[in-house]
Amino acid sequence: MALTLQQIITEADILVPNAVSTADKVIQLSSINADFFSNVKITKVHRFSSTTAGAVTLPTDIRQKNIDLLQIGPLRYRSLDDSSSPGPLECFYSFDDTIHVLTLSPAPYKAGLDCLCRHRRIATTTFTTSNLSATPDAPEEYHWTYILALAAWLASVMMLTEQAASYETRYRQAWQRANGEFSAGAVTGT
């Protein structure tokens, strides 16, 4: 079941009674949302068709650092950001995170080739107090961990060190299990 920000805040407030403002809790939930995807690597696949132009615009949820495979037709392309220089016969790419343009060198030899970009999901939502019905970007089965993460932060703010450590251990363990599940082959596609 998907949890809204309001439900997460309400449950965390039950675990750790506090006087922290809703605005501060929402800011922390945005941070927790991003932290989830820093810890849990969820593979996503974007498929598209090639053009001979040598540049393609990709969805805004893709980042250079999160691309781990780019294949155009039968050819694999390597990132220019890798530490070694590409050889004269290697295919390589660069990706601009600001304008979301993937530049390929050499350009595909033919239009219409099947292309695959495998990348890790990122948090795409920044929460605001004006929309407490928003839900986290994480898969629904892990929304409950946001309650523990927020409770850990609240306990820390309230200087309840042992309680904060307990909640943090629990949600971090859940995130480790989630990372294991998703690295074992769960892929979402577009």
Q: Are residues 115 and 151 in the same domain?
A: no
pLDDT band (50, 70, 90) for residue 184:
low
Q: Are residues 50 and 76 in the same domain?
A: yes
Quick one: which of 16, 11, 9 has its CA closest to 160? 16
Task: Among 81, 96, 120, give the residue marking a domain's end.
Answer: 120
For the stretch 104-128, pLDDT in tens is 988 898 899 999 998 888 777 789 9
Total domain count for the chain?
Answer: 2
Q: Are residues 128 and 35 in the same domain?
A: yes
In a domain, 98, yes or no: yes
Q: Are residues 34 and 128 in the same domain?
A: yes
In a domain, 167, yes or no: yes
> Given this model, what pLDDT does residue 140 score?
93
Task: Among 69, 101, 120, give the residue marking a domain's end.
Answer: 120
Task: Among 103, 120, 137, give the residue marking a domain's end.
Answer: 120
For the stretch 3-36, pLDDT in tens is 999 999 999 999 999 999 999 999 999 999 999 9
Q: Are residues 69 and 95 in the same domain?
A: yes
pLDDT band (50, 70, 90) for residue 158:
very high
State the average pLDDT for the chain. Answer: 89
In a domain, 190, yes or no: no
In a domain, 68, yes or no: yes
Q: Are residues 49 and 103 in the same domain?
A: yes
> Given this model, what pLDDT does residue 148 score?
98
> Given this model, what pLDDT does residue 86 score?
67
Whether the per-residue pLDDT at 157 is higher than 80: the answer is yes
Range of the domain at 72: 43-120
Identity of residue 167: Y
DSSP string over the chain: ----HHHHHHHHHHHS-----HHHHHHHHHHHHHHHHHHS--EEEEEEE--TTSEEE--TT--GGGEEEEEETTEEEEETTSSSPPPTT--EEEEETTTTEEEEESPPSSTT-EEEEEEE--------TT-TT---SS-GGGTHHHHHHHHHHHHHHTT-HHHHHHHHHHHHHHHHHHHHHHHTT-EEE-
Q: Are residues 107 and 48 in the same domain?
A: yes
**Cβ–Cβ < 8 Å for 43, 179:** no
